[in-house]
């Protein structure tokens, strides 16, 4: 079968098309014919060797994808041939709170990822996807959507009427916008371009702020909220944004710490957090139970992931290059097969 893999080094130029034997399912396993993948910021870090000290070569990168069950091993009860499923980002986090053991087995590093024609996974490590989604859309769910789901709904518990601020218009961000709207929140989106902000308003954002032309966006959020600040903030920027995020959030509000796009270390005046009674919650994707709850909501509300562009399987390096250069609105997907 055809795969894309890193064989000689962790760098984009070393991402090469290869051949591996097609897998057969063992007891308790299924084989998926992969139909689509989608890129996350993490995948670019993995390819550049900047993520996951336990990652080893050769490695098939990319965590998020969708496939059809084409073979089942003995004893399989959770899946049947023909089911369309996503392999879970964390193969061993089935439910309950996270733990070191549940974090150990993630796809696209250290485990092989989804850029392959066929994939062998434990039946426990998959979940069905809503029927109304295209393959390119369904491929976006395991990491980007689930992270946003837990930030806003699972852990965030956003309620109708809450004010939610979302940073950017990338993959996690637009799912956060969609889930916050689903919960009945008033959503404020930050972006670097007015064109993307207009698209965010089309998606349901109630208010928008250009964080380039309004670098004091924390004050703008306060102005929009009667001086109080937002109830919940989805923090993706990291070093350059965290302090403003703290100032933009109301006393007693919540910040979901998800990304570190501008850097991983920030010097913060801690009394800002103490005196404002803030809750800072770290979010790292989610469990299979979380995924199934999210998939039910997506199905019930016929919500559709925002896919900016779809590449062919032969264009994987071009897809990575575009992801890094173009800052897509939402997701980039790759058709497989």
Ligand X SMILES: NC(=O)c1ccc[n+]([C@@H]2O[C@H](COP(=O)([O-])OP(=O)(O)OC[C@H]3O[C@@H](n4cnc5c(N)ncnc54)[C@H](OP(=O)(O)O)[C@@H]3O)[C@@H](O)[C@H]2O)c1
Q: Which of 243, 266, 327, 337 forms a contact with ligand X (CB under 6 A)?
A: 327
CA-based nearest residue to 162, from 115, 107, 229: 229
Q: According to the binding rule CB under 6 A, does residue 106 interact with ligand X? A: no
Q: According to the binding rule CB under 6 A, does residue 241 interact with ligand X? A: yes
Q: Which of 71, 261, 273, 322 forms a contact with ligand X (CB under 6 A)?
A: 261
Q: Which of 25, 61, 171, 229 forms a contact with ligand X (CB under 6 A)?
A: 171
- Residue with Cβ nearer ligand X (19 or 214): 214
Count the site residues for ligand X by CB under 6 A: 31
Please, what is the minimum distance in Å from the beta carbon of residue 204 to ligand X? Answer: 16
Stretch that binds ligand X, among 63-71, 103-111, 164-172, 309-317 (CB under 6 A): 164-172
Q: According to the binding rule CB under 6 A, does residue 42 interact with ligand X? A: yes
Question: Shortest Cβ contact with ligand X: which residue?
Answer: 170
- Residue with Cβ nearer ligand X (3 or 143): 143
Q: According to the binding rule CB under 6 A, does residue 168 interact with ligand X? A: yes
Stretch that binds ligand X, among 6-14, 61-69, 92-100, 254-262 (CB under 6 A): 254-262
- Phi then psi for residue 64, to 5 deg, are -105, 130
- Residue with Cβ nearer ligand X (61 or 171): 171
Please, what is the minimum distance in Å from the beta carbon of residue 224 to ligand X? Answer: 17
Two tokens, residue 71: 């073979």
Are 177 and 196 spatial neighbours (Cβ–Cβ below 8 Å)?
A: no
Q: Could you give the CA distance from residue 298 to residue 39 in angstroms, rounded to a whole number? A: 20
Tell me, residue by residue from 107 to 146, as one string, x for binding to ligand X by CB under 6 A and - for no binding: ------------------------------------xx--
Q: Could you give the CA distance from residue 169 to residue 154 in angstroms, rounded to a whole number? A: 21
Q: According to the binding rule CB under 6 A, does residue 230 interact with ligand X? A: no
- Phi then psi for residue 295, to 5 deg, are -65, -35
Q: According to the binding rule CB under 6 A, does residue 284 interact with ligand X? A: yes
Are 147 and 156 spatial neighbours (Cβ–Cβ below 8 Å)?
A: no
Q: According to the binding rule CB under 6 A, does residue 249 interact with ligand X? A: no
Q: Which of 11, 19, 195, 240 forms a contact with ligand X (CB under 6 A)?
A: 240
Q: Which of 169, 178, 245, 333 forms a contact with ligand X (CB under 6 A)?
A: 169
Please, what is the minimum distance in Å from the beta carbon of residue 238 to ligand X? Answer: 7
CA-based nearest residue to 152, from 164, 167, 144: 164
- Residue with Cβ nearer ligand X (143 or 295): 143
- Residue with Cβ nearer ligand X (59 or 151): 151
Two tokens, residue 137: 């859309």
Q: Which of 10, 179, 211, 291 forms a contact with ligand X (CB under 6 A)?
A: 211
> Given the rule CB under 6 A, which residues bind ligand X?
40-42, 143-144, 147, 167-173, 190-192, 196, 211, 236-237, 240-241, 258-262, 283-285, 327
């Amino acid at each position: 079968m055809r795969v894309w893999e890193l064989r000689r080094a962790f760098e984009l130029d070393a991402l090469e098309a290869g051949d591996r034997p097609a897998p057969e399912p063992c007891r308790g396993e299924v084989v998926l014919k992969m139909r689509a993948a989608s890129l996350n910021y993490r995948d670019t870090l993995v390819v550049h060797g900047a993520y996951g000290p336990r990652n080893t070569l050769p490695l098939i990168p990319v965590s998020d994808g969708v496939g059809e069950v084409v073979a089942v091993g003995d004893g399989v009860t959770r899946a049947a041939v023909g089911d369309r499923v996503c392999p879970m980002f964390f193969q061993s986090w089935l439910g309950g709170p996270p733990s070191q053991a549940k974090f150990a087995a993630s796809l696209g590093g250290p485990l092989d990822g989804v850029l392959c024609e066929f994939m062998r996974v434990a039946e426990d490590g998959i979940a069905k996807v809503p029927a109304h989604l295209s393959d390119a859309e369904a491929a976006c769910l395991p990491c980007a959507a689930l992270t946003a789901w837990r930030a806003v709904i699972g852990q965030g518990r956003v309620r109708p009427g809450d004010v939610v601020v979302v940073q950017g218009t990338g993959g996690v961000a637009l799912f956060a916008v969609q889930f916050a709207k689903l919960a009945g929140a008033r959503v404020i989106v930050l972006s670097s371009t007015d064109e993307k902000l207009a698209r965010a308003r089309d998606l349901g954002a109630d208010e928008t702020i250009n964080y380039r032309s309004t670098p004091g966006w924390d004050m703008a959020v306060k102005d929009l909220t009667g001086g109080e600040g937002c109830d919940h903030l989805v923090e993706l920027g990291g070093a350059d944004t965290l302090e403003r995020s703290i100032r933009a959030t109301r006393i007693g509000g919540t910040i979901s710490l998800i990304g570190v796009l501008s850097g991983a270390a920030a010097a913060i005046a801690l009394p800002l957090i103490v005196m404002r009674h803030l809750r800072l919650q770290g979010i790292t994707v989610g469990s299979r139970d979380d995924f199934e709850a999210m998939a039910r909501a997506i199905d019930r509300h016929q919500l559709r992931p925002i896919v900016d562009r779809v590449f062919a399987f032969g264009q994987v390096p071009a897809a990575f290059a575009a992801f890094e250069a173009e800052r897509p609105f939402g997701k980039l997907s790759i058709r497989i097969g």
